[in-house]
Amino acid sequence: MGRLAGKVAVITGAGSGMGKEMALLFAREGAKVVCADRSGMQEQIAASIGDAAVAVHADVSVSADIQNMIKVAEDRFGRLDILCNNAGFGGKMMPLHEQTEEAYDNVHAVNLKGVFLGIKYGVISMLRTGGGAIVNTASATGLVGWKDHSIYAAAKAGVLQLTKCAALDYAQNGIRVNAICPGMVWTGLVKASLENPVPPPGTKPPFNVPMGRWGLAAEQANAALFLASDEASYITGVAIPVDGGYVVG
């Protein structure tokens, strides 16, 4: 029996990086998986999983896309048990006064409003079936200040507040809402990862990470799996740093 046997999961940003690893891992653990992304890459990931997965195009900043992705889970697999609001992007990193209002709106539309929409419509579905687990991908930047990351960090801090408040709103409805806070992870957000799927030996992250190395997408997926599974049945409203010790360093 897998750790998610019988569960139905929707994962956003499933076409790359952490979301891709979550989709593959959750399927290996017995879940049916809806792979949602706006890139088109979700089709390949779902195809590699087979009958236990379906791909759906979704831009998480668009309400109709979020509602459709939840409906796909319900229509294809009967219900929604797990929602990973994982899709996001960093935008350009620079001092705050050089950032534009347009960049602010774009980064927040996806990284913050996208999570709000996911929780809102995910919860509506889960309330119908008696509960579920939501795992939001925030960031270590939501916990501590990072130079040149103001807009992104503010959105990720917002994700943590959405997580805590939603955890309280639905604590008595069987819906747990938690977050992971990745540190520096070797994914599509890191340009060099496009040429090297794993960090070349000796490659160091740009900030001082106590463990001295990049994190891997699979390590984020492992944390998400725990929070999504019944093993975390008494855990709600937490933000787990998965960052090689960065935020305590």
CA distance 142 to 139: 5
Comparison of 110 and 177: residue with beta carbon closer to ligand NAD: 110
**If binding is defined by CB under 6 A, does position 184 make contact with ligand NAD?**
yes
CA distance 244 to 246: 6
CA distance 237 to 244: 21
Alpha carbon 98 to its chain's center = 28
Active site annotation includes 121: no
Smallest distance, ligand NAD to C-beta of residue 186, A: 7
SS3 content of the chain, % helix, strand, coil (to 5): 45, 15, 40
Element (H, E) at 65: helix 63-77
Comparison of 171 and 192: residue with beta carbon closer to ligand NAD: 192
**If binding is defined by CB under 6 A, does position 125 make contact with ligand NAD?**
no
Site size for ligand NAD, by CB under 6 A?
30
**If binding is defined by CB under 6 A, does position 22 make contact with ligand NAD?**
no
Site for ligand NAD, residues 79 to 108, rule: CB under 6 A: 86-89
Which is the catalytic residue, given 152, 170, 234, 246?
152
Instruction: Give the pair of three-digit tokens for residue 54.
Output: 């379906």
* Residue ranges binding ligand NAD (CB under 6 A): 12-13, 15-19, 37-39, 41, 58-61, 86-89, 110, 114, 137, 139, 182, 184-185, 187-189, 217
